[in-house]
Structure 1
Amino acid sequence: MLDNELDLLTDLVPLAGQRIIELGCGNARLARELLERHADSEVVGLEVDAVQHAKNLSQPRERLQFLSASAEAVPFARQRFDGALMLKSLHHVPIPAMDRALAEVARVLRPGGWFYVSEPVYGGALNDIVRLYNDEGVVRAAAQAALDRALASGAHWEAAAERRFAQPVHYPDWPSFAQRMLYPSFADHQITPEIESRVRRAFEPHLGADGARFVRPMHVRLLRRRR
């Protein structure tokens, strides 16, 4: 079980004094903690969700820059960054744009730069609940296939490492799960009362005295930009 993914990232790549871009940064929790550990690094977080982007801008931090931009159109010049992160975000890129997104990452990374991609595995009790209203089987498989194509082409990338780990996930109660998972600002899952009721029935057996605890299987692939 891995409580903090930053520990794994630290084991795999250098983080001190790095210029890093995170594509689909969400609330940038890991980026903020990274800068707490490595104050000499810089992070740029790209986010397409306007609501989340506004929240990020309202919580500024030194050496952390937020931009409203997508992975498939990165607003930076070539070889600008030492490393790149996609944390549970590649499968949110539209499938037809995944290859373009990976090419954009290659464009803005320096030769020898690292690209850390962390994706949830399609499986487990939490996934069984989520797929009742948002089945990500196709998009998660497409994300892995896009990485496979990028490596197979030999144009930009080489495989550097691969890891699998279990990530603990906790929801204090049903309302917190519903707000975070059924009604996120970045997606409209078209939740009807019937769907919400079905999901709640699947969720509630997992509730205990301290809420609902799950284990999310994760798959990390570390790519290296060819020199």
Structure 2
Amino acid sequence: MTDTRTDELELLASLVPLDGQRLIELGCGAAGLARRLVERHAGASVLGLEVDERQHAKNLASDAPPGLSFQAGGAQAIPFPDARFDGALMLKSLHHVPMPLMDPALDEVRRVLVPGGWLYVSEPVYAGALNEVIRLFNDEGEVRAAAQQALDRAIAAGGWQQADERRFEVPVRFADFAEFECRMVDVTFAERRFDDALRAAVRARFEPHMGPDGAHFVRPMHVRLLRRVD
């Protein structure tokens, strides 16, 4: 039976303690999970690191709950001292790190974790109907594979141990093609070249999934939980 989840925070909380933990999220985006985390888990703090300037400005301007703060920066050069955090999150972000920088980024994450600290990496699987639509204008097959290979190399090098691994699906709904464009095309961290021909091709692949209440998909996800080895 496939594990379906609408809130990944529940899975994270089942794998690691969160109350009172000092956490960093690399490539935090709008920090949706981090916002819920600090509200639900007493004494937890999350530092959201974001390389995209426009998203970082939005985060700074947002009404962040106590315990959540933001700083600009990339995972390959984390602006904090050694052993600063108990745990780290990379939610659909490792594959956005430039491929030559993935190994240095994982080294940096290890550096800022306390001994025995954990890294939770959640990556979309390159499969499924939604992926078939998106790959017409944003084919991430190579970078998603590279992200998994970087994790394998980090473990093989001896600095990390894989503590757990999970797979699940996230339901995704779009009211119509316009909402799909808004959420998946018009994003701050990418400049899409979306001409009329490509738009028509994407729409043609999207529209068969439309029903009376919108288009429904599932996004398959792959989680790997690593622990720092000393």
Q: Which category describes the TM-score, using the shorter chain as reference length?
A: over 0.9
Q: Which residue of 1 aligns with 2:213?
A: 210
Aligned with 2:6 (options 3, 8, 17): 3
Displacement of 1:148: 0.2
Amino acid at match of 1:140: R
Amino acid at match of 1:42: S
Aligned with 2:161 (options 135, 158, 166): 158
Q: Name structure 2 gaps, 5 residues minimum.
A: none
Displacement of 1:189: 2.3
Per-residue CA shift, 1:36-57, capped at 9, x if unaligned?
Answer: 1113111000111112111111
Aligned with 1:112 (options 111, 116, 128): 116
Give the Cα–Cα distance (whole angstroms) in 2 for the partners of residues 205 and 33 of structure 1: 34
Q: Name structure 1 gaps, 5 residues minimum.
A: none
Q: Which residue of 2 aligns with 1:24?
A: 27
Q: Give matches, 1:169-180, under 5 Å.
A: 169-180=172-183
RMSD: 0.8
Q: Which residue of 1 aligns with 2:48?
A: 45
Q: Which residue of 1 aligns with 2:193?
A: 190
Q: Between Structure 1 and Structure 2, how many residues are aligned? A: 226
**Partner SS state of residue 65, structure 1:** strand
Q: Which residue of 1 aligns with 2:69?
A: 65
Per-residue CA shift, 1:40-95, capped at 9, x if unaligned?
Answer: 11100011111211111111321111111111110000000000000000000000
1:95 pairs with 2:99:
yes
Q: Which residue of 1 aligns with 2:135?
A: 131
Give the Cα–Cα distance (whole angstroms) in 2 for the partners of residues 193 and 125 of structure 1: 22
Give the Cα–Cα distance (whole angstroms) in 2 for the partners of residues 39 and 13 of structure 1: 14
Q: Which residue of 2 aligns with 1:141?
A: 145
1:121 pairs with 2:125:
yes
Per-residue CA shift, 1:135-160, capped at 9, x if unaligned?
Answer: 11000000000000000010x21110
Give the Cα–Cα distance (whole angstroms) in 2 for the partners of residues 76 and 10 of structure 1: 25
1:13 pairs with 2:16:
yes
Alignment identity in percent?
Answer: 62
Say which is worse superposed, 120-129 or 59-68, in terms of deviation: 59-68
Give the Cα–Cα distance (whole angstroms) in 2 for the partners of residues 19 and 191 of structure 1: 41
**Partner SS state of residue 100, structure 1:** helix
Give the Cα–Cα distance (whole angstroms) in 2 for the partners of residues 96 and 189 of structure 1: 22
Q: Would the aligned equivalents of 2:38 and 2:45 in 1 still touch at CA under 8 Å?
A: yes
**Partner SS state of residue 35, structure 2:** helix
Amino acid at match of 2:97: V
